[in-house]
């Protein structure tokens, strides 16, 4: 009996009729897309030729999804960076205000929202792979409820940003300017709350290209409007806030219109009261996801550093400011930024595997220990006690990231992935609520 159960798909598809031929077609399609215990996903590798053949096949599959995904992420990170670049042309105080708001206020909120949205990545990915596609829309709406509730709490950070910045030692002028800019950026916070669930919803269905197109259009419009409002019309920080908010709202609206247009008819069936069911299990997974991922957001500047050589390092600081001290600081820190990229090349892969497997809670403990209990104290010791300044703080954090990466590699190396795949249905029931029992029984009966 156990062997028979192991050979069946984990969850049933949504069967829309009683026609046996239709059910057979669905079962045939699922047999090629769902996990079956004891069956390898690729043929055995018996030599170098086999290795390179499978490597090319897997690379094509990977880049078909990863290419647009990378482009999408780069465009979205670039929105804040472009605003920062234009702010540097407005003035040093404007640059400082936007930099502080982007890195501290919006950066922290972005990390929390992205992390909590990753709970949807686990549930949608496993549900779609198992054939339970009808639940994806309810999961997304459930995530909207949780992330918008979180945004309400995070809005206090925006409202009292000026006071928070003064408490941590920021100057009066920068605190006031950054606090005002943070207040203007509240619409962006709630755009995050809608965007990340939709992004995970679309990613689970491999609808990456449409996200890339939307992000690319948003980036072009953002660049043109930033120049027009901030520099040409002289709106300064107010123009920066207007354009940045508009860009994120455009992304949210465009993605939602695509979802309800019929392109996701199997996974989006309209608004549902299921969004308010099983919230606590979803909240726990979301919180674990947030702790796991939010401290790994390194920002757009790291992406830029990957392609920097010595010649570029001596010129690109002028994009950010005409202040000589700012330019010297950027030049001095760029080699360290490049080192960040080298060390963090492995991190996104490990995080993706952890999210897909539903390890958020375990990895959250690893991140807290390695990063906050080891890396940050080490950085503070190097930076202040040993007088190494910013470089010392950064080196300490990088050391914590290295330890974190080694621990995750060890966890992945010891994992039985056949067993992990078999647990997908149990995770969906635990975090997303019970699956449709009627559909599951129909699937079992049709196989008997």
Share of the chain above pLDDT 90, in %: 19
Q: What is the mean pLDDT of the chain?
A: 75
Specify the pLDDT at position 294: 56
Specify the pLDDT at position 251: 95
Does residue 239 belong to any structural domain of this protein?
yes
Q: Which of 121-125, 126-130, 324-328 has the highest mean pLDDT?
A: 121-125
Does residue 309 belong to any structural domain of this protein?
no
Cα–Cα distances in Å, from 318 out to 38, 77, 224, 253? 58, 20, 20, 35
What pTM does this model have?
0.67
- The four Cα atoms 436, 203, 370, 388 give a dihedral, to 10 degrees, of -160
Does residue 412 belong to any structural domain of this protein?
no
Q: Which of 123-127, 208-212, 327-331, 404-408 has the lowest mean pLDDT?
A: 327-331
**Would you say how long the chain is, in residues?**
448
Share of the chain above pLDDT 70, in %: 70
Does residue 300 belong to any structural domain of this protein?
no
Average pLDDT over residues 239-243: 93
Per-residue pLDDT of 306-321, as tens digits, reads 333 333 444 455 555 5
Residue 268: pLDDT over 70: yes
Residue 326: pLDDT over 50: yes
pLDDT higher at 188 or 111: 188
Q: Which of 14-28, 169-183, 241-255, 347-361 has the lowest mean pLDDT?
A: 14-28
pLDDT-derived band of residue 13, with 50, 70 and 90 as boundaries? Answer: very low
| Number of domains observed in the structure of the chain | 1
Residue 291: pLDDT over 90: no
Residue 25: pLDDT over 60: no
Does residue 352 belong to any structural domain of this protein?
no
Per-residue pLDDT of 333-388, as tens digits, reads 777 777 776 777 777 677 777 767 777 778 778 877 887 788 888 888 888 888 88
Per-residue pLDDT of 92-110, as tens digits, reads 888 888 888 887 888 788 8
Is the Cα dihedral 316, 329, 223, 348 positive or negative?
A: positive
Residue 27: pLDDT over 70: no
Specify the pLDDT at position 246: 96
Q: Which of 104-118, 199-213, 302-316, 329-343 has the highest mean pLDDT?
A: 199-213
Does residue 6 belong to any structural domain of this protein?
no
Does residue 362 belong to any structural domain of this protein?
no
Q: What range defines the domain where residue 102 resides?
A: 48-276
Does residue 339 belong to any structural domain of this protein?
no
Residue 164: pLDDT over 80: yes
């Amino acid at each position: 009996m156990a062997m028979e159960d192991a050979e069946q798909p984990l969850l049933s598809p949504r069967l829309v009729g009683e026609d046996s031929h239709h059910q057979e077609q669905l079962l045939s399609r699922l047999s090629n897309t769902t996990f079956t215990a004891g069956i390898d996903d690729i043929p055995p590798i018996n030599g170098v030729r086999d290795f390179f053949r499978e490597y090319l096949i897997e690379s094509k599959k990977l880049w078909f999804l990863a290419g647009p995904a990378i482009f999408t992420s780069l465009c979205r990170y670039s929105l804040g960076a472009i605003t920062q670049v234009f702010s540097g042309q407005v003035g040093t105080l404007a640059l400082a205000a936007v930099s502080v708001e982007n890195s501290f206020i919006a950066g922290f909120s972005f990390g929390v929202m992205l992390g909590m949205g990753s709970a949807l990545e686990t549930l949608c990915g496993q549900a779609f792979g198992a054939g339970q596609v009808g639940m994806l829309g309810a999961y997304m709406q459930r995530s909207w409820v949780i992330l918008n509730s979180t945004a309400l709490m995070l809005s206090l950070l925006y409202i009292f940003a000026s006071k928070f910045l003064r408490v941590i030692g920021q100057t009066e002028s920068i605190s006031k300017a950054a606090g005002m800019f943070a207040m203007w950026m509240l619409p962006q916070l709630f755009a995050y709350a809608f965007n990340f669930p939709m992004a995970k919803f679309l990613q689970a269905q491999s609808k990456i290209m449409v996200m890339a197109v939307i992000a690319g259009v948003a980036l072009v419009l953002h660049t043109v409007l930033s120049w027009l409002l901030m520099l040409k019309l002289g709106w300064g920080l107010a123009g920066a806030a207007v354009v940045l908010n508009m860009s994120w709202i455009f992304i949210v609206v465009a993605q939602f219109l695509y979802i309800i247009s019929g392109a996701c008819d199997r996974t989006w069936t309209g608004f549902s009261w299921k969004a308010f069911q099983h919230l606590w299990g979803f909240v726990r997974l979301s919180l674990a996801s947030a702790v796991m991922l939010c401290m790994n957001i390194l920002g757009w500047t790291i992406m830029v550093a990957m392609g920097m050589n010595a010649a570029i390092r001596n010129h690109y600081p002028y994009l950010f400011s005409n202040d000589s001290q700012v330019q010297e600081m950027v030049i001095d820190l760029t080699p360290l930024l490049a080192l960040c990229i080298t060390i963090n090349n492995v991190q996104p892969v490990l995080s993706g595997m952890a999210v897909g497997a539903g390890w958020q809670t375990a990895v959250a403990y690893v991140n807290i220990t390695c990063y906050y209990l080891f890396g940050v104290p080490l950085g503070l010791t190097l930076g202040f006690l040993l007088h190494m300044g910013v470089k010392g703080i950064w080196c300490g954090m990088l050391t914590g990231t290295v330890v974190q990466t080694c621990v995750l590699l060890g966890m992945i190396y010891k994992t039985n992935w056949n067993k992990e795949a078999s647990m997908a249905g149990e995770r969906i029931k635990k975090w997303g609520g019970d699956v449709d029992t009627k559909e599951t029984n129909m699937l079992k009966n049709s196989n008997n």
